[in-house]
Amino acid sequence: MALRNRNGTWHYRFRLDGKQYNGSTRLAATSQNESKAKDIEARHRLDLLEGRNHVRRVVVREFSDAALDFLHWCEVEHRDHPNTQKRIKTSFASAKDFFGKLPVSMIDEAKIEQFKTWRATKHGVRDITLRHDLHALSKFFAYATKQHWTRENPVANVDIPSDADAIRMHILTPAEEKLYFTYAAKYPNLHDLTRLILNQGLRPDEVLSLKVENVNLERAEVHIPGGKTSAARRTLHLTDESRAILSKRLTDKSPWVFPSKRRPGEHITRLNGAHDKVCEKARKDKLSFKFVLYDLRHTFATRMAQAGIDLATLAAILGHNSLRIVMRYVHPTQEHKREAMLRYEQSLKAAEGRTN
């Protein structure tokens, strides 16, 4: 038997039947722990001799402390995907509040189900938010298993809302659009942001992160320099309205199209507040609807599809590299499908006429 001090921790190594075995005791390499470390090594050897799988001891970590380590790991793991970092961090704000000082190893499927109920009843979250929360927890428990804070991932045995259930979209009707922008006119930044999203199909954070140098009014183009994927980096033609809006916002006072004292894009919360006020005023006008800013992008995509734009082109405009993802944004009406079938029927008749 041989113990070794590796980075301040007792490790052991031994040979049995010509094969070498090693492991960490996870004990500090002190003289007081030397006896305990040898006992751990001896148990491993005995397990092998008796034909049992050696199971490492679970290290007790409180969830709140373990979550800090996990979030730090996420910053490195997802350094090229800041939106993923943000989504996980947002989910863990509520997770830390719920699980608190509970040891990670004591969290089972029942506790996860209680968390789901708590999020739905106390915070009134939708399926899409709950889906994000559970996926973030699943990633955490996968990490925790590797750290020996627990032996299993309890989220694996819990139902997670499917893509179909979690996707929540509201496609604006012309009447809803008109009413919304009647009230949004009182909030210039919100008005310009939402018109640009609806006209160009941009993500809200893409608009808020625009620099003056990204806009070329002479060529009527806007360049999106970055995003989650290479497809997000794209150049789009500006509609006449978008061009007029941007021409008023391009000044020498700031390098940003939407100036803010905080980093570009971080004032989205303030604009969300203005957006909610506009929706509330519209509801009082007896037209019942509520949507989020991102639904303007969904509305743009649906209208483009209804205008006959092919999905490959629409994917490029939206900044997606997958047609499957684009299909989430497209909501053809019954009339649109009927017109498509009529056009197809006409093409069949034309082809038949040419062969006769």
Instruction: Specify whether 140 is located in the same domain as 254.
Output: no
> Is 114 within 8 Å of 134 (Cβ atoms)?
no
Using alpha carbons, select from 272, 266, 304 the residue that is nearest to residue 291: 272
- Whether 350 maps to a domain, the answer reads no
Q: Which residues contact 71 (CB under 8 A, 6 or more apart)?
A: 88, 89, 92
In whole angstroms, what is the distance from residue 40 CA to residue 33 CA? 11
User: Both 32 and 83 in a single domain?
Assistant: no
Residues 190, 243, single domain; the answer is: yes
pLDDT at 249: 94
In a shared domain, residues 283 and 191: yes
Question: Is position 40 within any domain?
Answer: yes
Residues spanned by the domain of 182: 174-334
Six-digit token pair at 126? 């939708």
- Verify that 161 and 78 share a domain, yes or no: yes
CA-CA distance, 298 to 296, in Å (whole number)?
Answer: 5
Instruction: Report yes or no on 349 lying in a domain.
Output: no
Residue 75, domain CATH = 1.10.150
Supply the pLDDT for residue 265: 43
If asked whether residues 275 and 302 sit together in one domain, one would say: yes
The reply to whether 117 falls in a domain is yes
From 138, 125, 199, select the one nearest 166 (Cα to Cα).
Answer: 125
pLDDT of residue 123: 82
184 contact partners, CB below 8 Å, separation of at least 6: 190, 191, 194, 275, 278
What is the full per-residue pLDDT of the chain (356 aa) written as tens digits? 589 898 788 888 888 888 888 888 878 888 888 888 888 888 888 888 877 766 567 889 999 999 999 999 999 998 877 778 888 999 999 999 999 999 999 999 999 999 999 998 888 787 888 889 999 999 999 999 888 899 889 998 888 877 655 556 788 989 899 999 999 999 999 999 999 999 999 999 899 989 999 999 999 999 999 876 788 899 999 999 999 999 999 987 889 999 876 554 445 657 888 998 999 888 887 666 678 898 999 899 988 887 878 888 999 999 988 787 777 766 666 777 788 788 888 888 888 877 66
Q: Is 89 found in the same domain as 33?
A: no
Angle in degrees, CA 352, 355, 356, rounded to 5 = 90
When divided into structural domains, the chain yields a total of 3
CB 317 within 8 A of CB 236: yes
CA distance 149 to 166: 30
Do 43 and 114 lie in a common domain? no
Q: Does some domain include residue 94?
A: yes
Tokens of 243: 């061009």
Question: Beta strand pairing status for 19-28 and 9-16?
Answer: antiparallel
Same domain, 313 and 182: yes
